[in-house]
Amino acid sequence: MLKDPINPSAKKLIGASILFRRWMTTSKRVQDRSKQKRVNDLEVATEKWKILSKILFLIELLKQQSEMIIPVRSLENYRKQINLPKPHRISDFIRKTPKLFELYKDRKGVLWCGLTERAEELLEEEQRVLEQHSDKAAEHVTRLLMMSVDKRLPLEKIAHFRRDFGLPMDFRANWVHQYPQHFRVVKSFDGINQVECLELVNWNPNWAITELQKKVTGVTESTTTNLHIPGMLSLPFPLKFPSNYKRVYRYSEKIQDFQKRAYLSPYADARGLKAGSLEFDKRAVAVMHEILSFTIEKRLVTDHLTHFRWEIVMPQKLMRILLKHIGIFYVSERGKRFSVFLNEAYEGAELIEKCPLVLWREKVMRLVGYRGRKKKFEILSDMSDVEVEGDIGLMQSDSEVEDLDVQLEQHGSVDYEDPLLVDNSEMDVEEIACEYRNFKNS
């Protein structure tokens, strides 16, 4: 009789592998990734945001430079932030947006990147818009602190919401000190390290009213009194299901029960709620609805929400709740990081109400993926010009955008050296800046 060639330990490993694969294919999250729940318009909005986020990062990086120029080879240090894996050239990525970025060489042949005149004008416009939005951003940050258990949040975690809340780049160094009547910076210990936190200074009862209350009941800050105390709410959430999602009829009774169920205000003390209870989960929906209402695009990366599980009393399995309430939220699962949208705020792929910051971002987006003729980049030396095809824009078609998305999400990398980045010698920043100004004025 032949013996089993596989030893017992190997059998256990194989069995565990089979069980793991079965669990992976039958998990609730994977089942929720069904075509019936896809909203193509919001997937398009996700793709546009992913491209825009890379462009905004480059603009902000250049803005931080003393002369707003940087050697292209130095951008290699920011591949992770740009989410551009090798072997894709950073120089090629920059060339796809010639209306915002300029490439040129110094006398030593080193390639530099700078902003176009139009991009510099947009930066000035953004500064004005951010200043106008500053008070509203301070209100939203204050209300976020009011929702927290200890009325304080680590500055590092709030930093994840910087672009979403419309906060300036220097918000940690300067902006947080401009509103001492609302919050202050304090230092606390997380058990190991000292952490900077933003702490609530004064509780504002007029701000303890949810955005949903304002829309449904018409209550505003001017119509409330200083005696307002947040408590139980029974307001139904606006629902907007995908047009091809037919299960809404099957679950209509459960949906009605959920809508009728009272829940605790996001601004009330939730430490007494039992995790996993119906009341706990519905309050979590209310909290997520409120935070998404604060964002300028009514959209967030889900990772940013999970950072506040403990501080705002949120469930451990937050994604399950987001996927469950498809009429309130839409989760885009494209890429390595998921995004959650507030359904009621969108009509197709467009926001219904656009604040000035959104309009500014749309101006930037219109300059991305410019299609034009071959563009010659001037060289500040005796070297020959570099010709670049201008018709390889980022937004040529849906298929190309999807292909770009797949390329950017590859985990693997190969050894590759951009020939434009080989030369380690470069001119002094002030020297190249002087010549660059002469080049732009010529």
Task: Put the strands of the sheet holding 69-71 in their side by side order.
Answer: 69-71, 111-115, 101-105
Position 294 in a domain: yes
The 3-state DSSP class for residue 299 equals strand
- Domain extent at residue 129: 121-223+231-360
Position 19 in a domain: no
Same domain, 340 and 257: yes
Sign of the torsion formed by the C-alpha atoms of 259, 263, 266 and 272: negative
Question: What is the predicted pLDDT for the residue at 412?
Answer: 32
Position 132 in a domain: yes
- How many domains is the chain partitioned into structurally? 2
CA atoms within 13 A on the CB side of 426: 21
Same domain, 282 and 418: no
Position 179 in a domain: yes
Position 5 in a domain: no
Same domain, 238 and 345: yes
Same domain, 131 and 201: yes
Show the beta-strand stretches assigned E in 307-347: 329-332, 339-342, 346-347
Question: What is the predicted pLDDT for the residue at 403?
Answer: 34
Distance CA 343, CA 300 (A): 12
C-alpha of 439 from chain center: 36
Position 15 in a domain: no
Token output for 216:
């449904």
Same domain, 425 and 391: yes
Distance CA 86, CA 237 (A): 45
Same domain, 92 and 136: no
Same domain, 110 and 140: no
Which residue ranges in the chain fall short of pLDDT 50? Answer: 1-4, 16-34, 370-429, 431-432, 439
Same domain, 378 and 332: no
Q: Which of 420, 388, 405, 341 is nearest to 98 (CA)?
A: 388
Rounded to 10 degrees, the C-alpha dihedral 85/89/94/97 comes to -90
Same domain, 101 and 154: no
- Which one of 335, 360, 385 terminates a domain? 360
Same domain, 238 and 354: yes
Query: Using alpha carbons only, how large is the chain's radius of gyration in Å?
Result: 26
Position 27 in a domain: no
